[in-house]
Amino acid sequence: MNILHIITSAKKSDSQSLALGNAIVDEIQNAHPDAIVTTRNLSDERFPHIEQIHLTSFFTPVDQRTPELYEAASYSEKAVGELLEADIIVIDAPMYNFGIPSTLKAWIDHIVRQGITFTYEKGYPEGLLLNKKVYLAISSGGVYSEGPAKEFDFTEPYLRTVLGFIGLNDVTAFRAEGTAMPDLKEMALTNALQAVAKFKF
């Protein structure tokens, strides 16, 4: 079994999403001692935001790519390769301004590839990354999974949508919420870690 752990927090320490993501990976390893973990820290290994050269490289046949196009496509090829090899994907996703970190968005833009991770059948999109499990480790200063602020959550709904588009429909989210709220912050991560500990991986 192969686990791919995607780390996205800009924090080098005291990251709630990283602590939650690490706990998920640990529990999976406890349940599957033979699992091999590949860690990709997008804050340390940044994927470039999509530019013209990347789009050109994606739609240029491999045998027709120039050296520059090969280099431009290398980020996508590496990321997609890791996804294809993974049985389980753990994605840390701290909420920044109601959405995901730009580093994670850049990675997503390199993995959503027509003909590789999705295709169209009779005019309808069809995801190609099948039989894989995804866990989301989401942290947020407020509470967005329910209540009056739910409409501001563009983290979990977006991730479920874009991952489902490429075939990753089996998604479970764990959330450390209220990390900046005086009455909730002390237990925000603890409650999320307890939920992870109780889950059957």
For the chain, what are the domain ranges?
2-198
SS3 96: strand
Please give the Cα distance from 100 to 93 (Å, whole number): 6
Binding residues: 9, 15-17, 95-98, 139-142
Which of 64-68, 126-130, 182-186 shows the lowest per-residue confidence on average (mean pLDDT)? 182-186
Please give the Cα distance from 84 to 167 (Å, whole number): 11
- pLDDT tens-digit readout, 112-125: 999 999 999 988 99
Q: What is the mean pLDDT of the chain?
A: 96
CATH classification of 2-198, choosing from 3.40.50.1980, 3.40.50.360, 3.30.70.920, 3.40.1190.20?
3.40.50.360
Query: Which DSSP letter does residue 37 get?
Result: E
Residue 27 neighbours by CB distance under 10 Å: 18
Binding residues for FMN: 9, 15-17, 95-98, 139-142
pLDDT at 12 over 90: no
Q: Do 155 and 138 meet the contact criterion of CB atoms below 8 Å apart?
A: yes
**Dihedral sign, Cα of residue 25, residue 28, residue 75, residue 153:** negative
> What are the residues whose beta carbons fall under 8 Å from the beta carbon of 163, sequence distance 6 or more?
134, 169, 171
- pLDDT tens-digit readout, 141-197: 999 999 999 999 999 999 999 999 999 999 999 999 999 999 998 999 999 999 999
Tell me the average pLDDT across 18-35.
98
